[in-house]
């Protein structure tokens, strides 16, 4: 393991001088040479885009990158962090499967002098978190959905795994629904954040609620799974669907004529990691972070503006 410099005493003095809380619990590395990226599920294009951003950020500072896929399993992430500790990485960038459950592993990493940055969703004990403004994303997506429904009708919510970013998107959607008295949320079931389970739970809910005219999927894969369920039910002309991510697949779907999918609120997974790495470099320079919860704005992409959307 490489020698770590900038002791906790020095960092504390700097932080106190700036009126800030120290950002690390142990000696920080003098330079970021090895980065460990931990994603929730590499089968989701969101995390492939995150890895692309991580490669760019690593190349810019001359660091190596090791990406690990948790496959939505907390035990895997615990094991991966312990492996990164043994490898002596300088920085862990993690999209946590369980923001509280991963805390002991993050504590072990920080005790080993590793900087830990959370992306996409908070992780207890991380030095900072970089994520989409998830409440805003849910609000943006559902405002458009409800408006396109004419401000009335029955809606289904395709939920996901209980991590904060997903909880926040659903909260955002419900915030908006409170402003539409003629919109009724009649069903809410959790997918596993992917297309197959999004299709399955939507099919179940459509059976129980055949008069639905709108569906919000808390991410694009689940929303596109909902689209498949709508089409199989022969309800493409009846139901409108929106999601969150701004993924390449969503862009393709927005360009497909006749699709029930009408909009997505964007995320920028690559930018999350780029900002996380930049912040880690700041710590290696002996400086305290001025902001430890960075929210990246979400914007709406629809059939009307998809041609101008730069994508991931």
203-245 pLDDT, tens per residue? 999 999 999 999 999 999 999 999 999 999 999 999 999 999 9
Strand duo 300-302 + 261-266: pairing: antiparallel
What pTM does this model have?
A: 0.81
Under DSSP, is residue 181 helix (H, G, I), strand (E, B) or coil? coil
Q: Considering Cα of 68, then 79, then 122, then 245, what sign does the dihedral take?
A: positive
- The partner residues of 188 in beta bridges, in order of sequence, read 157
Average pLDDT, the chain: 92
**Cβ atoms within 10 Å, residue 19:** 7
Cα 242 from Cα 263, distance rounded (Å): 5
Closest of 155, 163, 218, 171 to residue 191, by C-alpha: 218
Tell me what pLDDT residue 5 has. 35
Q: Which two tokens stand for residue 180?
A: 């539409």
Tell me what pLDDT residue 44 has. 87
Cα 194 from Cα 211, distance rounded (Å): 25
Cα 234 from Cα 151, distance rounded (Å): 23
Task: Let me know how long the chain is.
Answer: 312
Cα 306 from Cα 256, distance rounded (Å): 12
């Amino acid at each position: 393991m490489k020698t770590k410099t900038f002791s906790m005493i020095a960092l504390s003095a700097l932080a106190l001088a700036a009126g800030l809380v120290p950002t690390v619990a142990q000696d920080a590395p003098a330079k970021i040479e090895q980065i460990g990226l931990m994603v929730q599920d590499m089968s989701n294009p969101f995390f492939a885009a995150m890895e692309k951003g991580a490669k760019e950020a690593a190349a810019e500072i001359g660091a190596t990158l090791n990406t690990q896929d948790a496959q939505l399993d907390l035990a895997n992430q615990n094991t991966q962090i312990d492996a990164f500790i043994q490898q002596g990485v300088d920085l862990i960038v993690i999209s946590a499967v369980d923001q509280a459950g991963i805390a002991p592993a993050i504590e072990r990493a920080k005790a080993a002098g590793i900087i830990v940055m959370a992306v996409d969703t908070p992780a207890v004990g991380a030095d900072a978190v970089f994520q989409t403004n998830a409440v805003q994303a849910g609000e943006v997506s559902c405002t458009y959905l409800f408006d396109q429904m004419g401000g009335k009708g029955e809606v289904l919510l395709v939920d996901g795994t209980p991590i904060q970013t997903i909880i926040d998107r659903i909260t955002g959607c419900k915030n908006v629904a409170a402003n539409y008295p003629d919109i009724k949320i009649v069903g809410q079931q959790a997918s596993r954040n992917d297309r197959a389970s999004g299709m399955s739970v939507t099919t179940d809910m459509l059976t129980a609620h055949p008069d639905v005219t709108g569906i919000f999927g808390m991410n694009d894969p689940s929303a596109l799974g909902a689209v498949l369920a709508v089409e199989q039910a022969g309800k493409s002309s009846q139901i409108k669907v929106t999601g969150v991510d701004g993924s390449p697949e969503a862009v393709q779907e927005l360009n497909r004529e006749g699709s029930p999918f009408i909009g997505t609120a964007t995320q920028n997974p690559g930018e999350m990691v780029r900002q996380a790495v930049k912040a880690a470099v700041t710590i290696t320079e002996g400086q305290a972070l001025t902001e430890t919860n960075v929210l990246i704005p979400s914007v709406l992409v629809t059939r009307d503006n998809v041609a101008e959307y730069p994508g991931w």
